[in-house]
Amino acid sequence: MTNPFDLTGQVAIVTGANTGIGQAIALSLAAAGADIAAVGRTPALETVQKVRALGRRAEIVSADLSTIEPVQRVVDETIATLGGLHILVNNAGIIRRADSVDFTEADWDAVIDTNLKVLFFLSQAAGRHMIGQGHGKIINIASLLSFQGGIRVPSYTASKSGVAGLTKLLANEWAAKGVNVNAIAPGYIATNNTAALQADETRNRQIQERIPAGHWGDASDIGGAAVFLASSAAGYIHGHTLAVDGGWLAR
């Protein structure tokens, strides 16, 4: 029987692949058979080494994703070095925190540009190629704040709500063209980015008490969801934002 989760022969772009969730997604896709273009401002040397240790090809594509300037080059370089493009994972993102009454235009623009504007235009560049070949998978990394408001992160909440909306819009336009566009909304995942929360005894306890599963997620949990959405097993899933949150939103 054919394994519906087999990604052998697929080429995946993963942005922000150097650490945390991005690295876990890259390694999970590679373990399922995909070759990886690790895209970001910081070279993902460790990720590339680990992917190659799994027997897959991997290349670093250096790009500052705070502007749309490199997006077409990212697609072109991936195709030139790895021979194709079948999967795009828009993982790269930033966050800025301040009370809404004090939030600056610079912090607004920086987050919206990286998390939403660049995500759209990289999806556009990849989507043109995928539509041309008649198939492809785009996976956006959304957030629990695609569903909830949060506090002190107005531009992040706006951007991640926008990611969920764009996921639906692109699915509406591209599903009939063979391109699946979906998103993953991670819950509280134990990574370097959440180390301060994990170290705060009170907040750590409060968070775990609020999660029905009773514990933080692992980055590999997001990797597993990415493999699913990138695979033929998810062929009829379009425009969905999959929460991987230990039940947080169900509470």
Q: Closest Cα to residue 25, out of 184, 188, 220?
A: 220
In a domain, 247, yes or no: no
Q: State what percent of residues in the chain have pLDDT above 70.
A: 100
Confidence of residue 197 (pLDDT cuts 50, 70, 90): confident
What is each CA distance from 13 to 37, 90, 143, in whole angstroms?
Answer: 5, 8, 20
Reported confidence tier of residue 17, pLDDT bands at 50, 70, 90: very high
For residue 4, tell me if it sits in a domain.
no
Q: Is residue 126 part of a domain?
A: yes
The answer to whether residue 196 scores a pLDDT higher than 90 is no
Whether 51 shows a pLDDT value over 70: the answer reads yes
User: Distance between CA atoms of 54 and 47, rounded to whole angstroms?
Assistant: 11
Report the pLDDT value the prediction gives residue 1, as an integer from 0 to 100: 63
Q: Terminus-to-terminus CA distance in the chain, angstroms?
A: 38
* Whether 236 is catalytic: no
Cα separation, 120 vs 88, whole angstroms: 12
User: Residue 180 and residue 235: Cα distance in Å, rounded?
Assistant: 7
Span 154-158, average pLDDT:
98
Total domain count, the chain: 1
Pairwise CA distance, residues 47 & 31, whole Å: 12
Query: What is the arithmetic mean of pLDDT over 49-72?
Result: 98
- What is the per-residue pLDDT across 221-238, written as a single tens digit (0 to 9) for each? 999 999 999 999 999 999
Residue ranges making up the domain that contains 141: 11-192+219-242
Residue 3 lies in a domain: no
CATH code of the domain covering residue 146? 3.40.50.720
In a domain, 210, yes or no: no
Domain assignment present for residue 110? The answer is yes
Q: Give residue 2's pLDDT.
A: 87
Mean pLDDT of 168-185: 98
Catalytic residue of the set 156, 174, 188, 248: 156
